[in-house]
A = this chain, B = another copy of it.
Amino acid sequence: RKLKIAVVPGDGIGTEVMPFGVRCLKAAASVYGLDLEFEEFDFASCEYYLKHGDMMPKDWKDTLSQFDAIYFGAVGLPDVLPDHVTLWGSLLKFRREFDQYVNLRPCRLMPGVPSPLANKKAGDIDFWVVRENTEGEYSSIGGKIFEDTDREVVIQETVMTRVGVDRVLKYALDLANSRPKKHLTSATKSNGISITMPYWDARLQELQKAEAYSGLKIDKFHIDILTAWFVLRPEQFDVIVGSNLFGDILSDLGPACTGTIGIAPSANINPEGKFPSLFEPVHGSAPDIAGKGIANPVGMIWAGQMMLSHFGFSDAADGMLKAIENVLARQEATVVTPDMGGKSGTTETLGVAIEKEILSL
């Protein structure tokens, strides 16, 4: 089977890590005999905006709908354009308009990568964050009244729907059910956020009654104490489900506990396959290190791995993950990037090392 992949590097380090993501995917394709077709686009970037006055061409949706997957770098340069303009004009549009309602993010302490947490070794941290990806706190409903006066009031609405909450909870329940630990943790804040969050809790309570989930261990934590547990006892987690905002926070904090957010990937999935799914690193465009050639390419490469896995190319996906692990485990200071303790390692040394490792599988 053939996979048509739209390549959208975006801004900042997105453009620096993308070439190595593509090279590694091509390497995997050659080793495992996959038919991958790539087409690159320059929109969803500040440069495009400055030229065209918009983040994307009018027909972006038609264009990208032709593809099975979007391989996405990172977008946004806050010194050039406000983040809410760049993000709402691209990434958040993809997620919403392509109904990528599951954002799936693994969090795993890899061999060789030093954790900021004391006494943790590879394998101790190994869980998935399932994030609602289309509604919740990321709504654009709201506005201002009494503008520019002392009475100014600004309102923004969090919107949860039965459809939106149920489908992501079900995805998370099923994922947890498919894993040996069979353990689902729900992030909530129903003690403070008194309308939407109790609703989230109630929907989970309703759905978990299904016979199919009778073997699951299910618990819930308020988001504040949940972040504390990430640091104090990350071993206890298996699958964690959260709203758009809570999932966002947990899927940066989690990877930080595994050493660096530079390695974390993110799959924005439309489970029904009606629209293309999108695969990206969790790290953003990182303007502070852009142009230095030291961005960690693992998040981008691992996102490619998730893409293969999503489309059922399990052998190739397993191989890519193994290759990443092998290279990281060697922890060569001339290969790995500075965020993982490397000395002279660069995006290129690390990217090429993983590509080679894949080719030698």
The yes or no answer to A63 lying at the interface (CB within 8 A) is: no
Tell whether, in the assembled complex, residue A193 and residue B138 are in contact, meaning their CB atoms are under 8 Å apart: yes
- Given known A144-B199, A157-B157, A199-B144, contact A87–B248 (CB-CB < 8 A): no
What residues on B are CB-neighbors of A359 within 8 Å? none
> For the complex, is A294 an interface residue (Cβ under 8 Å from B)?
no
Q: Does A22 contact B (CB under 8 A)?
A: no
**In which size bucket is the chain A interface?**
35 or more
Give A contacts to B, CB under 8 Å: 76, 82-84, 87-88, 92, 114-119, 137-138, 140, 142-144, 146, 149-163, 189-196, 198-199, 223-225, 227-232, 244-245, 248-249, 251-253, 255-257, 260-261, 284
Q: A160 — which chain B residues lie within 8 A by C-beta?
A: 153-155
Smallest CB gap from A120: residue in B: B118
Pick from B82, B193, B228: contact of A156, CB under 8 Å: B193
Q: Do residues A261 and B158 form an inter-chain contact, with CB atoms below 8 A? A: no
**Measured between C-beta atoms, what is the minimum distance from A140 to chain B in Å?**
6
26 A/B residue pairs, CB under 8 Å, sorted by A: A82-B190, A83-B191, A84-B190, A84-B191, A84-B192, A114-B118, A116-B117, A116-B231, A117-B117, A118-B119, A137-B192, A137-B193, A140-B194, A142-B196, A151-B162, A153-B161, A155-B195, A156-B193, A192-B244, A224-B253, A225-B252, A225-B261, A227-B249, A230-B253, A231-B231, A253-B253
Query: In the assembly, what is the distance between CA of A163 and CA of B291, in Å?
Result: 41
Residues of chain B lying within 8 A (CB to CB) of residue A228:
252-253, 255-256, 261
A145 to chain B, nearest CB (A): 10
